[in-house]
């Protein structure tokens, strides 16, 4: 297998279309927008990135890809997927489906695919550190481990919409259903307009719940308007919260929004439920409450009693970074508990 940097939208999207783990974040246009806005803080300096669309070929056939983002500063090179500063929980490799192949052959292809990526990255980029969050749908993390990566499971929540809406509603905790009904009497929940984006962004910035720029969000909204549905909550004529959902294939995803509200009653449960209702009414099969990783949000998200779906965080250190990491672990081990 060989690896090439491929700018062809046709080749890239052919891989995306044949990958079961493909997401809207993997769309080539989304990736290019992300590359223009992604930044990483190095010692107080904001550093931009360079985007490398890496494609793996088996002979003449493209079988997978990795959207790689390189940040360089002061001799340090970070290769990330997804990049920083664009509000993506996951990205990572795309691997095409082989519907008629035996399991053993698929596993071999995936291992060879990742070996090719790993060798290309080491030879051409020599990164100090690699960090990749795979998308849901990749269930076999062994090739990463076998190539020397540290692997950590991560989780997201998914609601099965292939049943009656009444059954989805009854799955919610009793306290959440009570809070939603209470919010219906206090807030106006409506579809969001483009001009509502700025108000929601300002609220989230004040709460420390968003780290990208408003210009980035605006470009995403304009480019992918057919893949976005958003709702806001108004209290006494003022937007106090909102939710932005992404639509891709058979899935609707809660992407950004739901900041903490300084009122006795929160509209956030109602906003999320409105999104689930909309997704069900439009015939989608899955609603994803993105990221089940944040401990402080666990009490709220767990009330939807959704299923857990796994993805992986994989990381690898260059030689110098590995030494620093080992020293840090030794020092941590010598610390006196307090």
Assign 146 a pLDDT band (cuts: 50, 70, 90).
very high
Whole-number pLDDT of residue 265? 97
Whole-number pLDDT of residue 104? 96
- Model pLDDT for residues 168-205, shown as the tens digit of each residue: 999 999 999 999 999 999 999 999 998 899 999 999 99
Whole-number pLDDT of residue 42? 86
Among 263, 259, 265, residue whose Cα is nearest residue 199: 259
In this structure, how many other beta carbons lie within 10 angstroms of the beta carbon of residue 67? Answer: 27
Check whether 328 has a pLDDT greater than 50. no
3-state helix, strand and coil shares in percent for the chain, rounded to the nearest 5: 40, 30, 30
Q: What is the DSSP letter of 182?
A: H
Whole-number pLDDT of residue 325? 58
Whole-number pLDDT of residue 321? 57
Q: Please name every residue paired with 310 in a beta bridge, in sequence order, or none if there are none.
A: 155
- Model pLDDT for residues 6-59, shown as the tens digit of each residue: 999 999 999 999 999 999 999 999 999 999 999 998 888 899 999 999 999 999
Check whether 335 has a pLDDT greater than 60. no
Q: What is the DSSP string of 52-95?
A: EEEEEEETTEEEEEEEEEEEEETTEEEEEESPTTS--S-B--EE
Among 166, 158, 169, 181, residue whose Cα is nearest residue 270: 181
What is the overall mean pLDDT for the chain? 93
Q: What is the DSSP string of 103-130?
A: HHHHHHHHHHHHHHHHHHHHHHT--SEE
| SS3 of 194-247 | CCHHHHHHHHHHHHCCCCCCHHHHHHHHHHCHHHEEEEEEEECCEEEEEEEEEE
Instruction: Tell me, yes or no, if the two domains 2-148 and 157-309 fold the same way.
Output: yes
CB-neighbour burial class of residue 299 (10 A; exposed 0-12, middle 13-18, buried 19+): exposed
**Which residue ranges make up each domain of the chain?**
2-148, 157-309
| CA–CA distance, 262 with 272 (Å, rounded to integer) | 18
Residues 329/322, Cβ–Cβ less than 8 Å: no
Distance of CA 282 to the CA centre of its chain: 23
Residue range 157-309 in CATH 3.40.50.300:
no
Assign 320 a pLDDT band (cuts: 50, 70, 90).
low
Interval 305-312 mean pLDDT:
97
CA gyration radius, the chain: 21
Whole-number pLDDT of residue 338? 33
What CATH architecture applies to the domain 2-148?
3-Layer(aba) Sandwich (3.40)
pTM higher than 0.85, yes or no? yes
Check whether 113 has a pLDDT greater than 90. yes
- Model pLDDT for residues 281-302, shown as the tens digit of each residue: 999 999 999 999 999 999 999 9
Residues 79/70, Cβ–Cβ less than 8 Å: yes
Q: For the chain, give the percent of residues with pLDDT over 70.
A: 94
């Amino acid at each position: 297998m060989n690896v090439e940097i491929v700018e062809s939208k046709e080749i890239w999207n052919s891989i995306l279309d044949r990958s079961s783990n493909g997401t809207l974040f993997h769309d080539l246009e989304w990736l290019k927008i992300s590359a223009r806005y992604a930044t990483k803080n190095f010692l107080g300096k904001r550093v931009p990135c360079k985007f490398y669309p890496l494609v793996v070929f088996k002979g003449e056939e493209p079988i997978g890809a990795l959207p790689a983002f390189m940040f360089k500063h002061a001799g340090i090179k970070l290769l990330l997927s997804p990049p920083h500063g664009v509000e993506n929980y996951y990205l990572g490799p795309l691997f095409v489906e082989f519907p008629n192949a035996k399991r053993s052959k698929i596993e071999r292809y995936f291992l060879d695919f990742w070996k090719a990526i790993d060798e290309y990255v080491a030879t051409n980029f020599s990164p100090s550190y690699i960090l990749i969050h795979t998308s849901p749908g990749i269930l076999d993390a062994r090739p990463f481990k076998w190539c020397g990566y540290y692997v950590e499971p991560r989780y997201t929540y998914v609601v099965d919409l292939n049943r009656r809406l009444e059954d989805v509603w009854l799955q919610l905790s009793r306290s959440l259903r009570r809070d939603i009904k209470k919010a219906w009497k206090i807030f106006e929940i409506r579809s969001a307009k483009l001009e509502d984006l700025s108000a929601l962004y300002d609220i989230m910035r004040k709460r420390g719940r968003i780290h990208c720029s408003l210009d980035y969000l605006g470009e995403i909204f304009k480019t992918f308007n057919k893949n976005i549905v958003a709702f806001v909550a108004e209290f006494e004529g003022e937007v106090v919260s909102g939710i932005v959902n992404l639509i891709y294939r058979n899935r609707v995803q809660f992407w950004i929004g739901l900041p903490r509200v300084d009122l006795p009653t929160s509209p956030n449960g109602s906003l999320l439920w409105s999104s689930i209702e909309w997704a069900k009414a439009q015939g989608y099969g899955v609603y994803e409450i993105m990221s089940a990783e944040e401990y402080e949000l666990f009490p709220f998200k767990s009330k939807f009693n959704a299923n857990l779906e796994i993805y992986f965080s994989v990381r690898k250190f260059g030689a110098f970074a590995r030494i620093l990491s080992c020293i840090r672990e030794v020092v941590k081990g010598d610390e006196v508990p307090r």
